[in-house]
């Protein structure tokens, strides 16, 4: 078992792995608290070394299976989103219309070749997948919200969707595999 002391995380915190999302998350056994992002007070350089040492193997993406695709997305949430909060902003108050204008701007930048979706997702996406350049891993039909699924499965690998509106917010989707 990995020695938790060299994770760089504050006391009682440890790194665990979400099988369903094939992603590491942070768990505090004392407070029974978990989160996708490292807690405040983390020595991020130490955490990076720890992750490279103990977690790169567990992050091996599931192999492509029949009926599954892999996609990345960039999400702009708004005040009517199912969870109007993200790693970027504790309380998201922009209107749906403002979110639409913002994501249409991103769509233009991406489709003009000025920036890659994954690059923009890193800093602009309101989904926890932002830190993986929006990469959601492999998923099949029934795994994601219907509007998202239909738009993603309609893409060929390498293609980018138009703006997709779901209960989570406004998305741009890039099919990766
Ligand atoms: O549910 C998640 C995590 C999704 C995820 C899957 C696989 C790897 C990493 C993240 N994040 C939500 C925002 C959100 N809503 C979505 C709806 C469809 C696809 C991706 C989505 N992301 C949120 O943060 O509110």
pLDDT at 6: 86
Query: Is 17 an annotated catalytic residue?
Result: no
Is residue 166 in contact with ligand 1, taking CB distance under 6 Å?
A: yes
Q: Which tokens go with 62?
A: 């599931």
Estimate to the nearest angstrom the gap between the alpha carbon of 75 and the chain centroid.
Answer: 9
Q: What is the pLDDT of residues 34-43, one digit of tens each?
A: 998 889 999 9
Residue 31 has pLDDT above 80, yes or no: yes
Residue 133 has pLDDT above 80, yes or no: yes
Q: Distance, CA 3 to ligand 1 centroid (Å)?
A: 30
Is residue 145 in contact with ligand 1, taking CB distance under 6 Å?
A: yes
Residue 3 has pLDDT above 60, yes or no: no
In eight-state DSSP terms, residue 159 is: -
- pLDDT tier, 173 (very low <50, low <70, confident <90, very high otherwise): very high
Beta-bridged to residue 14, according to DSSP, are 27
- pLDDT tier, 63 (very low <50, low <70, confident <90, very high otherwise): low
Ligand 1 pocket test target in 83, 148, 168 with most atoms within 8 Å of CB? 168
Rounded (10°) angle between helices 117-124 and 96-111:
150
Q: Shortest CA distance to 94 belongs to which of 85, 22, 109?
A: 85
pLDDT at 165: 98
E strand map for the chain: 13-18, 23-28, 33-35, 69-76, 135-139, 164-166, 169-175
Looking at 73, 81, 125, 161, which residue is catalytic? 73
Q: Where is average pLDDT lowest: 11-20, 28-37, 67-76, 146-155?
A: 11-20
Is residue 148 in contact with ligand 1, taking CB distance under 6 Å?
A: yes
pTM of the entire predicted model:
0.71
pLDDT at 50: 85
Span 88-104, average pLDDT: 98
Is residue 137 in contact with ligand 1, taking CB distance under 6 Å?
A: yes
pLDDT at 147: 98
Burial of 83 (0-12, 13-18, 19+ CB in 10 A): exposed
Residue 1 has pLDDT above 60, yes or no: no
pLDDT > 70: percent of the chain? 90
Query: Is 171 an annotated catalytic residue?
Result: yes
């Amino acid at each position: 078992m990995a020695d938790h002391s060299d994770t760089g995380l504050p006391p009682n915190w440890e790194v665990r792995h979400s099988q369903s999302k094939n992603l590491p998350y942070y768990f505090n056994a004392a407070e029974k608290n978990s989160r996708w992002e490292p807690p405040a007070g983390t020595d991020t350089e130490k955490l990076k070394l720890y992750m490279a040492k103990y977690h790169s193997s567990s992050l091996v993406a599931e192999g492509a299976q029949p009926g599954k695709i892999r996609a990345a997305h960039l999400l702009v949430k708004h005040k009517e989103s199912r969870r109007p909060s993200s790693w970027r902003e504790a309380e998201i108050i922009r209107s749906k219309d403002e979110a639409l204008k913002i994501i249409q701007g991103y769509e233009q930048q991406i489709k003009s070749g000025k920036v890659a979706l994954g690059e923009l997702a890193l800093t602009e996406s309101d989904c926890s997948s932002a830190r993986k350049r929006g990469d959601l891993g492999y998923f099949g039909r029934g795994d994601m919200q219907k509007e998202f699924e239909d738009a993603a499965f309609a893409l060929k690998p390498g293609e980018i969707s138009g703006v997709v509106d779901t209960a989570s917010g406004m998305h741009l989707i890039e099919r990766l595999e």
